[in-house]
């Protein structure tokens, strides 16, 4: 049976959502592809028929379909980046499974690096806890505690910082909001009771700073013009509004330098800086 391209996209969405959220509904398809519920139901039925045994089980308690214990993705790779990229609202070319060369353009390639291992069961638990505002008991390893230790956290948002995925959560042990790298959780999250601590209490998340990014002033005028063109700068800078909790990741992603000595000694290496360094420096500690 030949699967049409548009239906293949819907099959991929079904797999990704079912695998990582543990529940897929016709609403996922209706909202994502602007199709009617009847069409979405036919797509789920057609998806089931692609397997020897139905990979999805209808579960009235969750008002949708959950993956069976033997469910193995067929139309996607089952990598965390497929689901997490959707969360980040990436366009389709950033999601694994699309072969750019098949579109008939000149050859192109995207540098692939190994995905950090993230278990679906970890993501499902954290997402459920965030939706239901619940505490989570989970084991976490770090450079300071490589043997791992239990943590009670209250997650509110999963974040892609440009290099890796983490969850923003309140840490009951340190009594503050922290970033926890998803690949460093171990075991299965144990969902506990509701928490009265929510996202709105995460001040560094709720408050945004305006950052004015400019070319390194120690570059020549001609070199600065190249940098401006690279980033589509309006006149001499561009403005980014960024949550305080994400400023350090923005600086790393754009390779922004705020060290005046480095800017002066290696302007070609450090091509971007900020016009208001005081806004950035305090969040880099």
CATH 2.30.30 residue ranges for the chain? 120-201
How many Cβ atoms from other residues are within 10 Å of residue 247's Cβ?
22
Q: What is the pTM of this model?
A: 0.72
pLDDT for the residue numbered 96: 38
| Whether the Cβ atoms of residue 199 and residue 205 lie closer than 8 Å to each other | yes
Q: Which residues contact 254 (CB under 8 A, 6 or more apart)?
A: 213, 272
Task: Dig out the tokens for 3 from the structure.
Answer: 């699967």
Task: Looking at the chain, list the stretches that DSSP marks H as alpha helix, in order from N- to C-terminal side.
Answer: 5-21, 26-33, 37-48, 80-87, 120-132, 203-206, 221-231, 247-253, 260-265, 277-281
pLDDT for the residue numbered 95: 39
pLDDT in tens, 90-133: 334 443 333 333 333 345 555 666 777 888 889 889 988 999 99
CATH 1.10.10 residue ranges for the chain? 5-78
CATH code, residues 5-78: 1.10.10
What is the CATH class of 120-201?
mainly beta
Question: Between 80-87 and 5-21, two packed helices, what is the crossing angle to 10 degrees?
Answer: 100
**φ and ψ at residue 242, rounded to 5 degrees:** -135, 140
As beta bridge partners, residue 170 has 154, 177
Successive 10-residue mean pLDDT values, the chain, 285 residues:
85 92 91 91 94 91 90 88 68 38 44 76 90 95 91 93 89 96 93 95 96 95 94 84 94 93 96 92 81
pLDDT for the residue numbered 185: 95
Q: What is the DSSP string of 191-222?
A: EEEE-S--GGG-HHHH-EEEEEEEE-TTS-HH
């Amino acid at each position: 049976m030949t699967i049409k391209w548009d239906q293949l996209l819907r099959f991929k969405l079904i797999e990704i959502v079912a695998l990582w959220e543990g529940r897929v509904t016709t609403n996922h398809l209706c909202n994502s592809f602007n199709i009617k519920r009847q069409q979405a139901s036919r797509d789920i039925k057609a998806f089931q028929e692609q397997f020897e045994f139905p990979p999805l089980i209808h579960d009235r308690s969750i008002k949708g379909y959950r993956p069976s214990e033997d469910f193995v993705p067929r139309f996607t790779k089952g990598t965390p980046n497929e689901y997490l990229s959707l969360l980040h609202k990436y366009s389709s070319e950033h999601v694994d499974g699309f072969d750019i060369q098949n579109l008939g353009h000149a050859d192109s390639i995207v540098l692939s690096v190994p995905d950090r291992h993230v278990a679906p069961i970890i993501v499902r638990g954290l997402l459920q806890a965030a939706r239901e505002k619940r505490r989570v008991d989970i084991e976490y390893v770090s450079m300071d505690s490589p043997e791992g230790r239990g943590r009670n956290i209250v997650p509110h948002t999963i974040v892609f910082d440009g290099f890796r995925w983490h969850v923003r959560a309140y840490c009951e042990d340190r009594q503050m909001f922290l970033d926890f790298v998803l690949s460093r959780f171990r075991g299965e999250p144990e969902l506990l009771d509701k928490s009265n601590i929510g996202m709105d209490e995460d001040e560094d998340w709720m408050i945004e700073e305006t950052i004015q990014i400019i070319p390194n002033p120690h570059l020549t005028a001609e070199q600065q013009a190249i940098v401006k063109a690279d980033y589509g700068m309006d006149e001499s800078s561009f403005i980014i509004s960024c949550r305080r909790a994400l400023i350090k990741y923005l600086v790393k992603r754009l390779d922004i330098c705020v060290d005046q000595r480095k800017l002066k000694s290696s302007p070609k290496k450090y091509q971007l800086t900020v016009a208001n360094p005081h806004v950035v420096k305090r969040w880099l500690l």
